[in-house]
C-alpha cells in the first residue's frame, strides 16, 4: 500500500486563515471527499457543484475548483458557520444559534428550522440521512436536509464533530465523549480512553481518527474500541480530514503556515511526518 498517498491531515491551533478570516468548515464534491455512493463518482462529468466550498467566521464564504485558487462569494448576513457537508446534490451547513442552511450551488442559501436552540458544530451524511450534532449533546436528523427532527443522543456533553464510515455515524465531544449510531436515531456511548475534549473526527481507509485538546489523537477501526496514539504535540488539535491522495486536499488549502499542519500515513501508527 502506498502510504504517501493516503493521509490524515490534522490542523493545529487554528482551522485556517485566508485574508485574515477564520475558516471553520469546508466541503468538497463526492469525488474528493469520500462521501456516500449516491453522490457523483470521480470518473463522472463534473457538474456546477464540482467545487470546494469553505465557510467561516465573519460571514466568510469561499469557493475553489482546485483547492488552490479561491474566490470570495457573496454572503448573506448570518451567524458563524461551524460545519458543512455535501450529499445528494445539496450543501448543508450548520452553526451558531441553531443555524441550518441549505444550498444547491453553494452561493444562495436557504434557512431551515433545526428544532433546537443549541449551536450545531458538525454535520455528516450517510445511510440516506443527514445528521448534525452540537451543544448539550443535541442531535438532529434529516432525510433531505430540509426537514429536521431532534433525537436523543444519551449525553449532555457538547458534541463537536461527526463522521460517517463503516456503516455508522460516530460523534465526538467534550470530556472524551464518543457516541455511535447506525441510523442517527439510537445512540450508544463508547469509551474513548481520554477525558480530553475531542474536537473533530474523520473516516478513511477503514479507520476513524478523532483529535482534540492537548494533542489527543484516538483511532478505531469500527468506532467501538478506541486506542490513544502519540501525536507528537501537546497543542490543541482543531480539525482532521482524510485526503485520499487528492492533489489539492481541501483542508490544506485553508492553511497559511505549513507548520500548522501535520500528516500521518493511514492507518495512524503513533508517529507523525512533516
Q: What is the grid cell recorded at 169?
A: 455515524
Q: What is the grid cell recorded at 21?
A: 478570516
What count of residues does the chain have? 274
Does pLDDT of 196 surpass 90? yes
Q: What is the pLDDT of residues 79-108, one digit of tens each?
A: 567 888 889 899 999 988 888 999 898 778
Verdict on whether the full-model pTM lies above 0.75: no
Concatenated DSSP letters for 175-225?
GG-EEEESSSSS-EEE--S--SPEEEEEEETTEEEEEEGGG-EEEESSSSS
Phi/psi of residue 174, each to 5°?
Answer: -60, 155
CA–CA distances in Å: residue 72 to residues 136, 177, 256? 33, 36, 17
46/124 Cα distance (integer angstroms): 22
Residue 20's CB: how many other CB atoms inside 10 A? 8
Greater model confidence, 265 or 165: 165
pLDDT band, residue 250 (cuts 50/70/90): very low
Q: What is the pLDDT of residue 238?
A: 85
Strand order in the sheet with 99-103: 81-87, 90-95, 99-103, 110-112
Does pLDDT of 43 surpass 60? no
Greater model confidence, 143 or 205: 143
- Contact between 262 and 272 (Cβ < 8 Å): yes
141/92 Cα distance (integer angstroms): 12
Q: Which residues contact 207 (CB under 8 A, 6 or more apart)?
A: 219, 220, 221, 266, 267, 268
In 3D, which of 221, 171, 224, 180 has the Cα closest to residue 198?
Answer: 171
Q: What is the pLDDT of residue 2?
A: 46
Phi/psi of residue 94, each to 5°?
Answer: -130, 160
106/27 Cα distance (integer angstroms): 10
Q: What is the pLDDT of residues 109-163, one digit of tens each?
A: 899 999 999 999 999 999 999 999 999 999 999 999 999 999 999 999 999 999 9
Domains and CATH numbers, the chain: 7-265 (2.120.10.80)
15/24 Cα distance (integer angstroms): 6
Burial class of 258 by CB neighbour count within 10 A (0 to 12, 13 to 18, 19+): exposed
Greater model confidence, 2 or 124: 124
pLDDT band, residue 49 (cuts 50/70/90): very low
Q: What is the pLDDT of residue 73?
A: 61
Return mean pLDDT, the chain: 74
201/240 Cα distance (integer angstroms): 6
Does pLDDT of 50 surpass 70? no
Amino acid at each position: 500500500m502506498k502510504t504517501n498517498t493516503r493521509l490524515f491531515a490534522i490542523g493545529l491551533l487554528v482551522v485556517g486563515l485566508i485574508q485574515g478570516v477564520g475558516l471553520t468548515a469546508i466541503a468538497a464534491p463526492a469525488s474528493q471527499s469520500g462521501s456516500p455512493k449516491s453522490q457523483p463518482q470521480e470518473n463522472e462529468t463534473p457538474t456546477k457543484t464540482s467545487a470546494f466550498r469553505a465557510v467561516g467566521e465573519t460571514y466568510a464564504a469561499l469557493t475553489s475548483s482546485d483547492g488552490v485558487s479561491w474566490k470570495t462569494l457573496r454572503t448573506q448576513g448570518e451567524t458563524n458557520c461551524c460545519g458543512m457537508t455535501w450529499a445528494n446534490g445539496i450543501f448543508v451547513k450548520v452553526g451558531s444559534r441553531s443555524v441550518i442552511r441549505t444550498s444547491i450551488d453553494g452561493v444562495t442559501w436557504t434557512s431551515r428550522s433545526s428544532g433546537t436552540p443549541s449551536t450545531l458544530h458538525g454535520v455528516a451524511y450517510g445511510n440516506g440521512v443527514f445528521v448534525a450534532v452540537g451543544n448539550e449533546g443535541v442531535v438532529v436528523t434529516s432525510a433531505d436536509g430540509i426537514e429536521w427532527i431532534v433525537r436523543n443522543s444519551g449525553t449532555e456533553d457538547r458534541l463537536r464533530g461527526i463522521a460517517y464510515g463503516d456503516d455508522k455515524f460516530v460523534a465526538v465531544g467534550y470530556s472524551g465523549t464518543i457516541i455511535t449510531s447506525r441510523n442517527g436515531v439510537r445512540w450508544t456511548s463508547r469509551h474513548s480512553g481520554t477525558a480530553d475534549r475531542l474536537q473533530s473526527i474523520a473516516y478513511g481507509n477503514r479507520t476513524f481518527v478523532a483529535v482534540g485538546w492537548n494533542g489527543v489523537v484516538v483511532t478505531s477501526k469500527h468506532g467501538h474500541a478506541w486506542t490513544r496514539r502519540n501525536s507528537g504535540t501537546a497543542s490543541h488539535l482543531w480539525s482532521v480530514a482524510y485526503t485520499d491522495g487528492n492533489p489539492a486536499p481541501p483542508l490544506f488549502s485553508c492553511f497559511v503556515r505549513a507548520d500548522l499542519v501535520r500528516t500521518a500515513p493511514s492507518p495512524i501508527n503513533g508517529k507523525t511526518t512533516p
